Structure 1
């Protein structure tokens, strides 16, 4: 993946110091998450480059958009990306582990929207790159810890939104229910019409209701994107 800065329509992401570069998952989540409940406060857990927080600053007038990042290099880069954007007055990044942040903030004002593109390679191996391991492997932030913490920071009518591998969906929803969170909307993502489901985009909340399910197909053929995907991503990508 390129070390070069990534230019979006309304902001630029420097990513040379981040283990995880700009990828489809983050852009998908930032573009997909519904904002109909008009959140006043947003938290991006594991912000990396700051991509999703910046996308939400573009999409939402929320006055408070907090981000959290444990890796020092990524944290510093996210801060720079925030400062270089048009929304620097609404964006703030914390440098801390998630469990420490939850402990510190759970008695404060709750967030109306919590969003995360979490690490999810749960296989029993790691690379030699410690920074990349932390960014990409589930041991760094287990789903159970993510869900339990999010439930403590979420407002009563708030939404927790994330993207995970489809193969993890059933287990993730079981863990969510233990933390009092239930699915409201699930979008299953396929690369093409005939390929298998690769990702699940999830909206969770405290109310137990019948979830809405749909499907998103990204491409008709290589680099020939579907209208649904273009509608989602065109406010951000320069060439879409």
Structure 2
């Protein structure tokens, strides 16, 4: 995937130093996440280029938009992308592992909205060595650690939103319940109407309610996007 800058309507993402380039998953999560509860503090876990944090700064009036990134090159790139945006005074990136960050911050800061596009193994990322691929998945930020940490950093009325492979949805919901987090919204994403469900967008809260479940189809045909997808991301992509 290209390392050239990715130009959105209101900001530019430099991505030449990041292993994870701009992709549909991050844009989906940043556009889909609800701001109805008017979060004043937001955290993006595993920010990479800083994309989701920048989307949150564009969409919200939150005074505090924090991001967390463990990989040094990505961290430095996110910092640069933040400083070159219109919201540099509201954006801050921490360079730390998630477990360290949780230990340090759980008694200091609680966030009204936490988001994550975690580095899970998916069918899109294969080296050809099945054992190595599976090991890499197991070594990435586990759902159990992510959900436990989010529950410790989330404010009482906050939301934790993430995008994961559809195959992990049931596992995520089961683990979340052990930390008293319950799904409030579930959106299952398909490339086309005939394609299998590929991703799950999940929004968790501490309130146990019936989840609002929807489907989202991205394309009618190649580069012919559905009205639902276009409406979701039109404030970001230049050509929509």
TM-score interval, normalised by the smaller of the two chains: over 0.9
Q: Does 1:216 align with 2:239?
A: no
- After TM superposition, the runs of 4+ consecutive aligned structure 1 residues lying more than 3 A away are 125-128
Q: CA deviation at 1:122?
A: 6.8
CA distance, structure 1, for counterparts of residue 184 and residue 65 of structure 2 = 23
CA distance, structure 1, for counterparts of residue 72 and residue 40 of structure 2 = 28
**Structure 1 length-normalised TM:** 0.94
Q: The residue matched to 2:236 in structure 1 has which SS?
A: coil
Q: Which residue pairs with 1:146 in the alignment?
A: 146
**Structure 2 length-normalised TM:** 0.94
Q: CA deviation at 1:139?
A: 1.8
Q: CA deviation at 1:28?
A: 0.3
Q: CA deviation at 1:39?
A: 0.1
Q: CA deviation at 1:27?
A: 0.3
CA distance, structure 2, for counterparts of residue 160 and residue 211 of structure 1 = 14
Q: Which residue pairs with 1:13 in the alignment?
A: 13
Alignment coverage as a number of residue pairs: 233
CA contact (8 A) 1:68 1:93 kept: yes
CA distance, structure 1, for counterparts of residue 31 and residue 93 of structure 2 = 20
Q: Which residue pairs with 2:201 in the alignment?
A: 201
CA contact (8 A) 2:162 2:201 kept: yes
Q: CA deviation at 1:149?
A: 0.3
CA contact (8 A) 1:15 1:77 kept: yes
Deviations 1:117-167, CA, capped at 9 Å, x for gaps? 0011179x9759xxxx9xx84522100000000000000000000001111
Structural RMSD (CA)? 1.6
Q: Does 1:35 align with 2:43?
A: no
CA distance, structure 1, for counterparts of residue 46 and residue 74 of structure 2 = 9
In the alignment, structure 2 segments of 5+ residues that lack a partner are none
CA contact (8 A) 2:184 2:212 kept: yes
CA contact (8 A) 2:14 2:49 kept: yes
Q: The residue matched to 2:43 in structure 1 has which SS?
A: strand
Deviations 1:175-225, CA, capped at 9 Å, x for gaps? 111111100000000101111111000000111111110110000000000
In the alignment, structure 1 segments of 5+ residues that lack a partner are none
Aligned in 2, Cα 1:127/1:70: closer, same or farther, shift over 3 Å?
farther
Q: Does 1:114 align with 2:114?
A: yes
Q: Does 1:45 align with 2:45?
A: yes
CA distance, structure 2, for counterparts of residue 39 and residue 177 of structure 1 = 23
Aligned in 2, Cα 1:31/1:122: closer, same or farther, shift over 3 Å?
closer
Q: Which residue pairs with 2:170 in the alignment?
A: 170
CA contact (8 A) 2:120 2:140 kept: no
CA distance, structure 1, for counterparts of residue 14 and residue 137 of structure 2 = 23
